Amino acid sequence: MKNVICKQERALKAKILVAIVLSFSFMMLFFGSEPLTPRILLFTGSLLVFGFGVSYKINKDFNNEKLFSVFGLVLYRAKLDLEFPDYISVFSGSFSLNNEWATVSALGTKERHEKIVVRFFTDNRKVTVYKTNTYNAAFEKARELSDLLSVEIYDTTKL
């Protein structure tokens, strides 16, 4: 194994708004009376936003990348600066996500969720590399990262 991909999640409100815009643009595509080109552009744009995702690619040589993709097809790669971890931690907690749609004041600016996360710890610093709702998925991702980097896992969910 040469790398591990850690897909990052989007805020729930962002998912809902994008799905609404995609549905609206789909209906406009077939039932709209406007010229066809703007309807196709609106639908294509909303489809691209719907499929957009960010992932962390952790490599064995620790030359890590942040991947920007649409429906799994990588469009852009950026260097991801992380410190090599002393250990990897799996634990549960309540986490907040910033809402990138904060200009709509009724939606609020943050949302909180209970998650199981995988973090890299170096001295007193931490970086969250993966969040999920299930313990098994988090522990499997931590085990893959541990095997890749030869770093110990601390599972604090069992304490």
Give per-residue pLDDT as tens, 76-120: 999 999 999 999 999 998 776 665 554 554 556 666 778 899 999
Which of 55, 73, 66 has its CA nearest to residue 7? 55
CA 29, distance to chain mean position in Å, is: 29
Per-residue confidence (pLDDT) for residue 107, from 0 to 100: 56
The answer to whether residue 27 scores a pLDDT higher than 90 is yes
The answer to whether residue 124 scores a pLDDT higher than 60 is yes
Beta strands of 15-124 (E only): which ranges?
A: 52-59, 65-70, 73-79, 87-98, 110-122
Contact 43, 25 (CB under 8 A): yes
Determine how many CB atoms are found less than 10 A away from the CB of residue 76.
Answer: 9
Contact 55, 6 (CB under 8 A): yes
